[in-house]
Amino acid sequence: MKLVMLGAGGFIGSNLAEYLIDRGEHDVVGVDVSAEKLTGISGGNFRFIEADITKAPDLTDDLISQADVVVDLVAYANPSIYVEAPLEVVRLNFFENLRIAETCMRHGKRLIQYSTSEVYGKNPRRQKFIEDESDLILGPVVKQRWIYAASKQLLERMLHGHGLRGDLEYTILRPFNFVGPRFDYLVEAGTRGGPRVFAHFMSALLTGGPMYLVDRGTQRRCFTHIADANEAFTVLLESPGAANEVFNVGNPDTDTSIRDLAILMQKIYEDLTGKSTHNELVEISGEEFYGVGYEDTNRVPPDISKLEGLGWKPRFGLERTFRDAIQYNLGQDHE
C-alpha cells in the first residue's frame, strides 16, 4: 500500500514514519516544510519531500493521485498560536485541510484525518468522552483559544457530511495528548506561551527554571505513549470497521492533574540523572501565560471501547510514557 503523509515532519508524523519504515509493509511519502525531526530516519520504503503544501497545490494533487491512502497531519497545534493568530489557525486547520479532503474526493482516495480531543471542549458532564454521543461544547467567541477546536470540529462535520453523501471514505483520529521522543521543541527556561506542557516542564528540569502551573495546575489530562498511538494507526489503517468512523486514541488510565505531572516529571528526572531538582512550582493564570483570549477546561478521560473493539489497547502507563520522553531529551541534551 502507498501512503502519503502530509505534515510528516512533526512529532506525530516523524514517529509514525519511523514506525512504518521499521514495519516495512507500506511505501510512505512524507511531506512537510522541515525535515528536522526526521533526522536519522530513513528506509527504502520512505521518501521525504520538503515543501509547503499551502503553496504547492499541484504537488499535493499529484501525490494524492498516486496514493492509496492519504494521512493528513497538517495543523497548527500550539495554544499560543490559537491566541495570537486565530485567523491563521482556521486557514490552515480548516480551509487547507478541507482542500486536502476535496482532493482525496476528486481522486477517490481514502483519507485518515488526525483531529484533536479538543473538539470535546468544555463538556461539563463528568463522564468519559464518547465519540458518537458526547456533546461538543466550546467557549465564547472572545476566547479565541477555541478557534483550533472549532476549526477541527467543523472539518470533522464536513468529512462526515461527505461520507453520508458517498463522496469520501475517511477515518478520523482524536488524539489524547500523545507524548514520546521528538515531542515539541524545548524552550528557554521561564518562557511563557509556546509549546505544550511537556516542553515547558522538560526545559525547566534541564535548566532549573520554574515550572509554571497554569490556573493552579488543577486541570486533568490523559496522556498517550506515541508507540501506542502508532499501533492504533495500524489497526485503523487495516480495519474495514474504521471506514467513515471517528475514534478516540488515548489512555484513560493515565488521567492526572498538571500539578501532579510536574511532581512526577521531577521524580523521573531525579531517578534518571541522580540529580536533585529544585524547580519552583509557580502558579500563573492562563491569560498571563498564553495571552488575552485564553481559556482552558478540565477534560475527562476518553472512552476507547470503540477502538478496543477493533483489537487495540494501550500498553504504556503514565510513568513509562514520561520516562521514555524524558530519557530521549536527556540523550539529546548530552550529545
* Whether the Cβ atoms of residue 192 and residue 335 lie closer than 8 Å to each other: no
**Residue 92 DSSP one-character state:** I
**Residue 96 DSSP one-character state:** I
Known active-site residue 290:
no
* Residue 52 falls in which region: left (phi positive, over 0), alpha (psi -120 to 50) or beta: beta
* Whether the Cβ atoms of residue 23 and residue 43 lie closer than 8 Å to each other: no
Phi, psi of 321 (to 5 degrees): -60, -50
* Whether the Cβ atoms of residue 82 and residue 22 lie closer than 8 Å to each other: no
The catalytic position among 76, 114, 120, 148 is 148
What's the CA gap between 54 and 71, in Å, rounded?
A: 16
* Whether the Cβ atoms of residue 220 and residue 192 lie closer than 8 Å to each other: no
Total residues found in the chain within this entry: 335
What's the CA gap between 247 and 330, in Å, rounded?
A: 33
Beta strand 220-221 pairing with 256-257: antiparallel
Listed in sequence order, the DSSP H helices in 131-257 are: 147-165, 197-207, 226-238
94 HSE (CA, 13 A, CB side): 18
Q: What is the CA radius of gyration of the chain?
A: 19
CA angle 81, 149, 75 (to 5 degrees): 55
Give the H or E element holding residue 224.
strand 224-225
- Other C-beta atoms lying within 10 Å of the C-beta of residue 78: 20
Cell of 26: 507500506
Cell of 106: 476528486
Kindly list the catalytic residues. 148
